[in-house]
Structure 1
Amino acid sequence: MTTGISLLIFIAFYLLYSTSKKMAAISSFGVETWLSEHAKTSKYTGLALLTLSLGLSCFYWGMGSGAFTFFIILMTVASLVILLAPLRLLTYSSLACTLVLSLLFETILF
């Protein structure tokens, strides 16, 4: 569940980051041009996913700790996206590797 919430937060933040006016056009995933052309839809989708992930984290961990954990994950993901996207280190393979490792650790440890 933690991996799913983190993935939703990443997708939502990347949607909102891709529609930013200050972001340089970096085509890491190939959908950035479509996202910039459909900025309004991307922003609404990103905000909806952030709201959904906040609700899921509050459901999973409780109101107080769920909101706190949501904001901690959001700050971590946002920092990584802002640092790694301009360097073109966010690729499908790196995200898939991170997702598989996260699922594996979540399954083994919890």
Structure 2
Amino acid sequence: MVTGISFLTFLAFYLLYCTSQKMAAVDTLGLEKWTGVHKKASQYASLALMILSLGLSCFYWGIGSGTFTFFILLMTIASLVILLAPLRLLNYTFLTLIFACSLIFETLLF
């Protein structure tokens, strides 16, 4: 569940990051071309994913701690995206490796 919430938060922030005009156009995941053409649709989809992620974290941890955990998760993911996207380190293999390790750790530890 935590991995799913993290993935939704990552996807939501990355869509919003791709609609920014300050972002350097790096086509590593394939979403960048679509967000360049459909800015409003990607912003609405991103906000819907972010609200869904907030709702799931509030459902999983409760209202207060879920909201707090969501914002901590959002700050962490936003910092990583802003640091790693210009270096072109956010590709399918890296993201698959990170989320697979996260899913394995979540399954084994919890």
* TM-score bin (small chain): over 0.9
Residue 40 (1) aligns with residue 29 (2)? no
Residue 86 of structure 1 deviates from its aligned partner by: 0.2
Displacement of 1:31 in angstroms is: 2.3
Tell me the equivalent position of 1:10.
10
Deviation of 1:81 (Å): 0.2
SS state at 1:59 partner: helix
TM-score by length of 2: 0.98
Equivalent runs, 1:1-110 vs 2, <5 Å: 1-110=1-110
Separation in structure 1 between the aligned mates of residue 16 and residue 58 of structure 2, nearest angstrom: 22
Percentage of identical aligned residues: 66
Please list the CA deviations of residues 19-45 of structure 1 after superposition, one character each: whole Å capped at 9, or x if unmatched. 001111111112201111100000000
**Structure-1 separation of matches of 2:31 and 2:62:** 35
1:57-103 CA distances to partner (integer Å, 9 max, x unpaired)? 00000000000000000000000000000000000000000011000
Give the number of equivalent residue pairs: 110
Name the Cα RMSD after superposition: 0.5
Q: What one-letter code is carried by the residue in structure 2 that aligns with 1:53?
A: S
Q: Secondary structure at the match of 1:96?
A: helix
5+ long unaligned stretches in structure 1 = none
Q: Structure 1 residue runs of 4+, over 4 Å off?
A: none
| Unpaired stretches in structure 2, ≥5 consecutive residues | none
Hey, what's the Cα distance between the residues in 1 that align with 2:94 and 2:40?
28
Q: Give, in whole Å, the separation in 2 of the partners of 1:69 and 1:6.
A: 11
Deviation at 1:54, TM superposition (A): 0.2
